[in-house]
Homo-oligomer: A and B are copies of this chain.
Amino acid sequence: MFEHQLASRATGLKPSAVRELLKHSKLPGVISLGGGIPAPELFDNEGIQLAVQQVMASQFQEAMQYSLSEGYPPLRQAIADICRARGVACDASQVYITSGSQQSLDIVARTLLNPGDVVVVERPTYLAALQVFQLAQANIQSVDTDEDGMLVEQLADLVQTSPVKVVYLVPTFGNPGGKTLSEPRRRRLVELAKQHGFIIVEDDPYGEISFTDERPQPLYQHAMALGCTDQVIYTSTFSKILAPGMRVGWLVMPEWLANKAIIVKQATDLHTSTLSQQITAQYLSLNRLPAQIALIREDYRKKCETLASALEAKLGDHLAFSRPKGGMFLWAHFRYPFNATEWLKKTLENRVVFVPGEAFYNDAPDVTTLRLSYSTVSHEGLVEAVDRLAKSL
């Protein structure tokens, strides 16, 4: 639901049009490929219920009380273990709990950036990150992407002429593009950071949701090899692999940044919900997360396949795209000049919703693009959605 808010605002639609859109998307029968939200029927009802019961039974007063801005210590420890398994070899003392990835980005931006500082993002990029950098009054510059993610050589040119302070990217199964940065580019990006002294913000909400057994090395891991982890900020979240409603994410930060960032976190909300943190820690101690991730990977993989196949069959002459290897999004573009934002009004009449791609550009939007999310729609729904899209042409 909130993704519609975001997208509609980002596309510049007026509040009345937003409300109209929301009204439509709530009507029974509308199929939404718009929201970047996880499938609620996959939430681990049994496991989360158990964790909640255990917290409420044995940690009630603690769960209801104020807690440390840095986060609940057992959760920081459990997350450090998760990070290490991903190749982000950090200690619990480097893990800081946030109220989701969105807050991670906001805290980093507020801590690091002064007005006018140059922040480089991908073209296209996660639109809520754009909002954060805009709020920080950064000078946002974009670097193009292709099938292998950010064109790092374009960045190499940019740093020659521009005092780049921060490079922000979602290197694995990105939002909205669904692309993964190749290993050679990962290494080159980190080398550039070391050489030119900029900071990399590695946003990794989807890395675990892989449809294959391939696992790219985190940028953080490359930075370890090159001895420059002081220049990499890693952020991730439980929103896509456990549940977003509890708002629990985290930052792995170098000490020089953490000392300042924790003061910003404190001023922001004192600390993340103690209850959410304790439930999450308790859940992790049940050791059910690996099975839960496997379930999500398999479910989204099948849905993605359904959507991609239907699009190829029904809209292959109109839309071009590459099949995602993980994550929640399929990014497509029209094969000819076409305004996807205008088209949305028409597809709404046929009761199917997506997010126009232009929302995800800081500049020079490609209006032929669109983002289709498959995570919350059934097999039949996805097939029907593509039929409706085809009818809208």
Residues of A bordering B, CB below 8 Å: 1-3, 5-6, 9, 15, 35, 37-38, 40-41, 43, 45, 48-49, 52, 56, 60-69, 98-100, 102-103, 106, 110, 128, 131-132, 135, 239, 243-247, 259, 263-264, 266-276, 279
Contacts and interface: CB of A to CB of B under 8 A. Distances in A.
The 5 closest A-B pairs by CB, nearest first: A245-B274, A64-B243, A40-B61, A64-B245, A99-B269
A5 B68 contact: yes
19 contacts: A2-B271, A5-B68, A5-B266, A6-B266, A9-B263, A35-B66, A41-B61, A48-B60, A64-B243, A99-B247, A99-B269, A102-B268, A106-B269, A110-B135, A245-B274, A247-B271, A247-B274, A275-B279, A276-B276
Contacts of A273: 99, 245-247, 273, 275-276
A49 B61 CA distance: 11
A45 to B, nearest CB: 6
Contact of A37 (B66, B98, B263): B66
A244 B49 CA distance: 22
Instruction: Say how many copies of this protein the assembly contains.
Output: 2
B131 A263 contact: yes
Given A40-B64, A48-B64, A100-B270, 10 more contacts: A6-B266, A40-B62, A64-B246, A65-B244, A99-B99, A99-B247, A102-B270, A106-B267, A132-B267, A246-B273
A263 B68 CA distance: 27
A302 to B, nearest CB: 20
A269 B276 CA distance: 14
Nearest to A42: B61
B275 A245 contact: yes
A43 B66 CA distance: 12
A106 B269 CA distance: 8
Contact of A267 (B40, B102, B266): B102
A104 B259 CA distance: 23
Contact of A135 (B61, B62, B246, B264): B264
A81 to B, nearest CB: 23
Contacts of A247: 99, 269-274
A269 B100 contact: yes
A99 B3 CA distance: 20
Give the residue among A6, A62, A64, A274 with the most B Cβ atoms within 10 A. Answer: A64
A275 to B, nearest CB: 5
Given A245-B63, A247-B273, A276-B275, A69 B267 contact: no
Nearest to A49: B56
Given A56-B49, A65-B37, A65-B40, A2 B244 contact: no
A245 B66 CA distance: 5
Give the residue among A102, A270, A275 with the most B Cβ atoms within 10 A. Answer: A270
A243 B66 CA distance: 8
